[in-house]
């Protein structure tokens, strides 16, 4: 049985994935499946860069605002939900566009997951308590002691993945790095065509800064205040880049807005570098930024050739 073809739009935060998906979906008779571990939660709208209500009305989207913030979605659960959504889209004779920057979820959906123990809520609570007492580096050091390979590739601030790797060892005695090496992530579950927008570094940095300022102009601080009032201050989504910094600033009760904007920009820029590391290991068709400009005939022609080839072989 042939694998279903899916168009996978990738790239670091603020690279134009959403804009490209919105322009391609009508052209391909496609629907968009979000692969974003923050946009999936209700109420986390501004800071996650969630598509606007107008954009959501233009093209059918899936797995956006589908999860309660107090019910964290694991990669395996995302995989199962996305599989069902993709099957339904294909059954209606439509194409599938995967769009988002959570590359752990992309990998889970496209290549499967290593055979690791299920989530252990008690261990995760213990990890969270350790972080509150001693900080994230303490948890990272604990992982380094038992699984140095996983610790080497995970940033200390990546609480979710550091906690998961440590949880696997504590629950099973097996290293996450060994389980992942055994799995290999080589067997495809779908037939992906990876497409991204290749921004020159200076242009990207300027775009990211504009995007960050735009979040605050659209009410990022006010959104976080509202989320805290709802009791979502310790949820997984609130620990993501941007939300975490704004939450801490709001809780402090006294912060300089310009300094906060700069901090969120810097943290997001570091996160984008980590995203690029994952992208280096993929066969991606990189397109120039002008592909977002409908007036640019050459970029449009390049994209058209790529999509025509993909559709010819799509299953």
Q: Are 237 and 44 in contact (CB under 8 A)?
A: yes
Quote the pLDDT of residue 183: 59
Q: 184 exposed, middle or buried (CB, 10 Å; 0-12, 13-18, 19+)?
A: exposed
The DSSP annotation for 220-247 comes to HHHHHHHHHHTT-TTSTGGGSTTHHHHH
For the segment 13-34, the average pLDDT, to the nearest whole number, is: 94
pLDDT digits (tens, 9 = 90+) for 79-138: 999 999 999 999 999 999 999 999 889 989 999 887 777 888 889 889 989 998 999 999
* pLDDT on residue 252: 95
Per the structure block, which two tokens stand in for 105? 């979820």
Q: With a cut of 90, say whether residue 206 has pLDDT above it.
A: yes
Q: Is pLDDT above 90 for 230?
A: yes
pLDDT of 313 higher than 70: no
Contact 13, 101 (CB under 8 A): yes
Please work out, in degrees rounded to the nearest 5, the angle formed at the alpha carbon of residue 114 by the alpha carbons of 110 and 115: 135
When pLDDT is cut at 50, 70 and 90, the band that residue 185 belongs to is low
Judge whether 56 and 22 are in contact, CB under 8 Å: no
- Please give the pLDDT value at position 53: 95
To the nearest whole number, what is the mean pLDDT of the chain? 91
The pLDDT value given to residue 186:
59
pLDDT of residue 281: 66
Residue keyed to tokens 């994209």: 303
DSSP state at residue 63 = S
Helices (H), the chain: 17-28, 53-58, 75-91, 103-111, 121-134, 136-146, 148-153, 159-172, 176-183, 201-217, 220-229, 243-252, 257-279, 297-313
Spatial contact of 240 and 215, defined as CB atoms under 8 Å apart: no
On the question of pLDDT at 299 being above 60, the answer is yes
CB 193 within 8 A of CB 30: no
Which DSSP string do the residues of 141-172 spell out, in sequence order?
A: HHHHHH-HHHHHHS-TT-HHHHHHHHHHHHHH
Q: Read off the tokens for 199.
A: 């921004």
As a whole number of angstroms, the distance between CA 185 and CA 231 comes to 38
* Token digits of residue 195: 């497409």
Q: What is the CA radius of gyration of the chain?
A: 20
Domains (range + CATH), the chain: 5-112+185-313 (3.40.50.300), 121-183 (1.10.20.140)
Q: Are 1 and 92 in contact (CB under 8 A)?
A: no
- Of the ranges 57-66, 156-165, 184-193, the best mean pLDDT one: 57-66
Average pLDDT, integer, range 251-269? 96
The span from the CA of 287 to the CA of 305, in Å, is 12
Average pLDDT, stretch 175-187?
Answer: 73
């Amino acid at each position: 049985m042939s694998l279903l073809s899916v168009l996978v739009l990738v790239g670091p935060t603020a690279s134009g994935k959403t804009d490209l998906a919105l322009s391609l979906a009508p052209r391909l008779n496609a629907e968009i499946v979000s692969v974003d571990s923050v946009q999936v939660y209700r109420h986390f709208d501004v800071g996650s860069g969630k598509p606007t209500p107008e954009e959501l009305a233009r093209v059918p989207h899936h797995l956006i605002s589908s999860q309660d913030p107090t019910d964290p979605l694991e990669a395996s659960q995302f995989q199962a939900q996305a599989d069902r959504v993709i099957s339904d889209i294909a059954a209606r004779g439509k194409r599938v566009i995967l769009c988002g920057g959570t590359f752990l979820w992309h990998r889970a959906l496209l290549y499967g997951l290593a055979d690791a123990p299920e989530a252990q809520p008690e261990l995760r609570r213990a990890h969270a308590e350790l972080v509150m007492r001693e900080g994230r580096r303490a948890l990272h050091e604990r992982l380094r002691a038992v699984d140095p390979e996983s610790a080497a590739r995970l940033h200390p601030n990546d609480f979710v993945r550091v906690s998961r790797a440590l949880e696997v060892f504590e629950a099973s005695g097996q290293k996450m790095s060994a389980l992942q090496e055994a799995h290999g992530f080589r067997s495809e579950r779908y037939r992906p065509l990876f497409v991204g927008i290749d921004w020159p570094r200076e242009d990207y940095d300027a775009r990211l800064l504009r995007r960050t300022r735009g979040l605050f102009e659209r009410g990022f601080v006010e959104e976080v205040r509202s989320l805290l009032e709802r009791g979502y201050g310790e949820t997984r989504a609130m620990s993501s880049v941007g939300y975490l910094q704004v939450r801490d600033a709001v809780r402090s009760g006294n912060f300089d807005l310009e300094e906060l904007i700069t901090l969120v920009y810097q943290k997001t820029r570091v996160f984008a570098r980590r995203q690029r590391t994952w992208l280096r290991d993929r066969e991606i068709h990189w397109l120039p930024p002008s592909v977002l400009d409908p007036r640019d005939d050459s970029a449009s022609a390049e994209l058209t050739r790529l999509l025509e080839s993909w559709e010819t072989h799509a299953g």
